[in-house]
Structure 1
């Protein structure tokens, strides 16, 4: 919907007035139709209050408990975080959708997944005790799934470099030496079939690296960063279990939550999250400087969309100090639902100019990148 579109104002009014104006202003399609359904699901309750019957039609969202949860996920995707927070408050306070927070049975038929966990994290501070226990069950299931997917990648990334000159008796795909195997079995080439029968498989060993490193994770906890927080909590738990790696972790918006003492339990880390609020990156980065003991063996990872709410001067000064002290600096951008990065390019560019390696990647790639930085 753009200003150059001649029907722009008409469709804006259609969204504002709701489905009762469809006869006069026409219907909607695509994302506008999704937006209309999400708005109608919540604000159409005003008609209910006045004794008016809301017509239902194809694609309507009936006000059931299951649909309420569907609506939460849909609204989060369709509206900016600030708008979603207002709608969320209206759902609870104005329209009394407290069943979302008081009845654990609402979630019983849903399979735990990351989207559900993201939604519940935004409510856990206002949930009933029973619902909080259900949240813990959902979070445990999701965390274990993410842990399974990330642990192998992280451990492989940090397991050491392959040594092609040292043989190993440990047969694994990661250690398979296909070049050496090919050379050793050329004598078994069968010209009739054009194949080599490999009866002598070769594997290389890995030189385990000593890892006297400190890793500092500084994670933006604004609502748009929920996926990053989940993966960061899991990654911190895995990294803290590696020998010789000391991990510190801070969550921030305009306030700072130091969760370093909770890293062995990703669930406790996530339950410390207070989604929402503004963003003061500089204050958080400055706080993280206290964890730097040996700068040359410290990696500082800032996970954020770099949309600084305060003056960026404090942020720049802190990054410049750490760069001068030889701290390895990594900036990781947020990713949207399509896997595309979204970030404040001006601030990210300035940080890159101050010595920070800025990128956007999935958590498994971050593990590989982090291991490369620490070589």
Structure 2
């Protein structure tokens, strides 16, 4: 990279406030457009630090003034100038770091946003203050994003949950997981080479997959505090997938200091997410005691607590409920995170106390969560 190219790169990185310090960084028209689009967002942070925005026309006149951009015009510029991955990153910064709420309070702007999980989290956090018309648009955009997540996860989750080798039926589906090596050897004994002590496998045999009946109750008890938002989204998606399985009774509870039983809505993750109310305190003990009342067959019940384990209620009651369920042979799992990243931020000391009372504690991706469920009910 030449010195002039490097100067231009630094100028774009540092923004218009570095223009006087880098007089040799002459930007092209395309780079000026990119600079304006980035300045529309990131100059807000500089203003918070006390720097005043210079709104005097530059170069080609007032059309380069960031304040002249509308939000829709700005989104259009992002798409024209940057690849989608960069657009999504900038949009996420606007929503989560820089408080650009005008991205959410206009239905036309909502339609123009890139539908992704950062947008979904912002919508869930924002929906409480939206008017009815905007709330309807938020529901529509939420459904579009959630359906994409479900479509991506459902095949992998159902594969982990609904199939195991059927050793009495052959399959034409070729998978090493279902490879039947005993039957393959029997079928190819005629190819035995005594001199080299080898068999040539001309015919491969595989086990078929058979559908498993799951006579289990799965209770998802989800902490709806703001720090657990990503996990709340995936818990809602997982509940909808599990609700579609045969002979599975899904119970979905969300809680803060109040408890809301959303079991009747578990099949529809959008309705669940629209019902979530972020914030408030955390009363894990009361939620666990409520869940206890739903248990009819303890040895065929999975209780899953999705939480950061920061109990605001009675720790004594929470631990006592854990011990009672463990003693009754309920299978207990505490998830500090349920998301693609599985990156938990939780009270480790409390998690250790729960583990000491009989609860497994982990942070899992949805696929690994499904594998854990399959391992328990196998």
Match of 1:311 among 298, 314, 322: 314
How big is each residue's C-alpha offset from its partner over 1:101-136, in whole Å with a ceiling of 9 and x where there is no partner?
441111222221111111111111212333223222
Match of 2:360 among 339, 353, 357: 357
Tell me the residue number matched to 1:108. Answer: 111
Cα distance change, pair 205–64 in 1 and its aligned pair in 2 (3 A)? same
Distance in 2, Cα, partners of 1:210 & 1:70: 43
> What is the SS of the residue equivalent to 1:306?
coil
Tell me the residue number matched to 1:158. Answer: 161
Tell me the residue number matched to 1:11. Answer: none
- The answer to whether the 8 Å contact 2:47/2:53 transfers is no
Distance in 1, Cα, partners of 2:247 & 2:341: 36
Tell me the residue number matched to 2:237. Answer: 234
Q: Which segments of 5 or more consecutive residues in structure 1 lack a partner in the other structure?
A: 1-18, 24-36, 79-86, 92-96
Tell me the residue number matched to 1:167. Answer: 169
Tell me the residue number matched to 2:280. Answer: 277
Tell me the residue number matched to 1:127. Answer: 130
Please list, as runs of the form range in 1=range in 2, the aligned pairs for 1:41-80 lying within 5 A after superposition: 41=44, 44=47, 53=53, 65=71, 73-74=92-93
Is 1:218 aligned with 2:221?
yes
Tell me the residue number matched to 1:177. Answer: 179
Tell me the residue number matched to 1:300. Answer: 303
- The answer to whether the 8 Å contact 1:47/1:54 transfers is no
Q: Which segments of 5 or more consecutive residues in structure 2 lack a partner in the other structure?
A: 1-16, 22-39, 59-64, 76-87
Cα distance change, pair 132–187 in 1 and its aligned pair in 2 (3 A)? farther
The alignment yields a C-alpha RMSD, in angstroms, of 3.7
Distance in 1, Cα, partners of 2:340 & 2:161: 29
Instruction: Compare CA radii of gyration and give the structure with the larger one.
Output: 2
Q: Per-residue deviation at 1:346? A: 0.7
Cα distance change, pair 277–373 in 1 and its aligned pair in 2 (3 A)? same
Distance in 2, Cα, partners of 1:312 & 1:269: 28
Q: Per-residue deviation at 1:174? A: 7.0
Distance in 1, Cα, partners of 2:230 & 2:199: 47
> What is the SS of the residue equivalent to 1:329?
strand
Is 1:368 aligned with 2:374?
no
Q: Per-residue deviation at 1:273? A: 0.7
How big is each residue's C-alpha offset from its partner over 1:34-91, in whole Å with a ceiling of 9 and x where there is no partner?
xxx989727947989xxx645799xx9978536799788437766xxxxxxxx96xx7
- The answer to whether the 8 Å contact 1:189/1:197 transfers is yes
Please list, as runs of the form range in 1=range in 2, the aligned pairs for 1:12-27 lying within 5 A after superposition: none
Distance in 2, Cα, partners of 1:117 & 1:172: 38
Q: TM-score scaled by structure 2? A: 0.71
Distance in 2, Cα, partners of 1:335 & 1:249: 15
Q: Per-residue deviation at 1:332? A: 0.9
Q: Per-residue deviation at 1:142? A: 1.8
> What is the SS of the residue equivalent to 1:341?
coil
How big is each residue's C-alpha offset from its partner over 1:144-194, in whole Å with a ceiling of 9 and x where there is no partner?
222122212222222243244x2324425376416357634576699xxxx
Q: TM-score scaled by structure 1? A: 0.72
Distance in 1, Cα, partners of 2:252 & 2:325: 17
Distance in 2, Cα, partners of 1:125 & 1:255: 17
- The answer to whether the 8 Å contact 1:213/1:245 transfers is yes
